[in-house]
Amino acid sequence: MNRMIRILVLLIFVFVFAEAHAAEQGILDCKNEDKDRQKEEMMSPTPEGIIKQQLIAYNAGDIDNFMATFHPEIKVYNYPDDLRFDNKSDKRVAYKKLFDEFPNNHAEIVERMTMGKFVIDKERITGRGDAPPMYVIAMYEIRDGLIYRVTFLRDE
């Protein structure tokens, strides 16, 4: 009988250990799935992720990483159809000047909407000298993993 109890305890121990191990593996598998998903997002960033990269570079005044988020054929408009830039080099010159003139320039996302290849942000812009905060709505269109078109709506 004593021997039977020891065997039963041993079996319970093995069963509990096996269940714990299986549960741990499940958790590790979930963590690996999360890592795989994150890696996949980095390989093919979402439109929202691209805009996030652009915003980080904008706020840092990092012209190279900022421009790296834009399509070679970038088009930038003021609503509805006032074309401001139709190539990267003109946009680079203008934003380099902006970053140099206002090193404390900062954009904060107040609201965001996304749909497919579009990201629409309401942004609060500060750090432009003594100017009060400015609000703009920016509608971004993503093509080939880069910002292809931006349309700004400004309160006048």
Q: In sequence order, what DSSP letters do the residues of 94-149 get, joined into one string?
A: HHHHHHHH-TT-EEEEEEEEEETTEEEEEEEEE-STTPPPEEEEEEEEEETTEEEE
> 104 has which bridge partners?
none
Domain identity same for 121 and 139: yes
Domain identity same for 27 and 56: no
Domain identity same for 26 and 53: no
Domain identity same for 33 and 51: no
The reported pLDDT for the residue numbered 155 is: 82
**Domain region containing 19:** 1-44
Amino acid present at 130: D
Report which of residues 105 and 12 the model is more confident about. 105
Q: For 51-93, what is each residue's pLDDT tens digit?
A: 999 999 999 999 999 999 999 999 999 999 999 999 999 999 9
Domain identity same for 52 and 25: no
Percent of the chain with pLDDT over 90: 70
Mean pLDDT score, 113-121: 97
Model confidence at 23: pLDDT above 90: no
Both tokens of 138, joined, read 């920016």
Q: Are 82 and 152 in contact (CB under 8 A)?
A: no
The reported pLDDT for the residue numbered 27 is: 47
Domain identity same for 25 and 55: no
Query: Measured between alpha carbons, how far is 68 from 12 in angstroms, rounded to an integer?
Result: 59
Domain identity same for 76 and 25: no
Q: Are 133 and 122 in contact (CB under 8 A)?
A: no
Q: For 26-61, what is each residue's pLDDT tens digit?
A: 544 555 665 565 555 445 589 999 999 999 999 999
Domain identity same for 39 and 57: no
Mean pLDDT score, 10-37: 54
The reported pLDDT for the residue numbered 33 is: 62
> pTM higher than 0.85 for the full model?
no
The reported pLDDT for the residue numbered 2 is: 64
Domain identity same for 57 and 134: yes
Domain identity same for 126 and 53: yes
Domain count for the chain, please give it: 2
Domain identity same for 87 and 119: yes
CATH, residue 56:
3.10.450.50
The reported pLDDT for the residue numbered 29 is: 52
Domain identity same for 55 and 124: yes
Model confidence at 132: pLDDT above 60: yes
